[in-house]
Chains A and B, each alone.
Chain A
Amino acid sequence: DTGVSQDPRHKITKRGQNVTFRCDPISEHNRLYWYRQTLGQGPEFLTYFQNEAQLEKSRLLSDRFSAERPKGSFSTLEIQRTEQGDSAMYLCASSFRTGSTGELFFGEGSRLTVL
Chain B
Amino acid sequence: EDQVTQSPEALRLQEGESSSLNCSYTVSGLRGLFWYRQDPGKGPEFLFTLYSAGEEKEKERLKATLTKKESFLHITAPKPEDSATYLCAVRADSGGYQKVTFGTGTKLQVIP
Chain A residues within 8 Å of B, Cβ to Cβ: 4, 33, 35, 40-45, 48, 55-56, 91, 93, 98, 101-109, 111
Contact = CB atoms under 8 A, between A and B. Distances in A.
19 contacts: A4-B43, A33-B100, A42-B89, A42-B104, A43-B44, A43-B87, A45-B99, A55-B97, A56-B94, A93-B43, A98-B98, A102-B32, A102-B49, A102-B98, A103-B46, A106-B36, A107-B43, A109-B42, A111-B41
B78 interface: no
Contacts of A55: 97
B22 to A, nearest CB: 15
Contacts of B24: none
Contact of B44 (A40, A101, A106): A106
Interface of B: 4, 6, 31-32, 34, 36, 41-46, 49, 87, 89, 91, 94, 97-105
Contacts of B101: 45
Given A42-B89, A43-B44, 8 more contacts: A35-B102, A41-B104, A44-B102, A45-B99, A55-B97, A102-B32, A103-B49, A108-B43
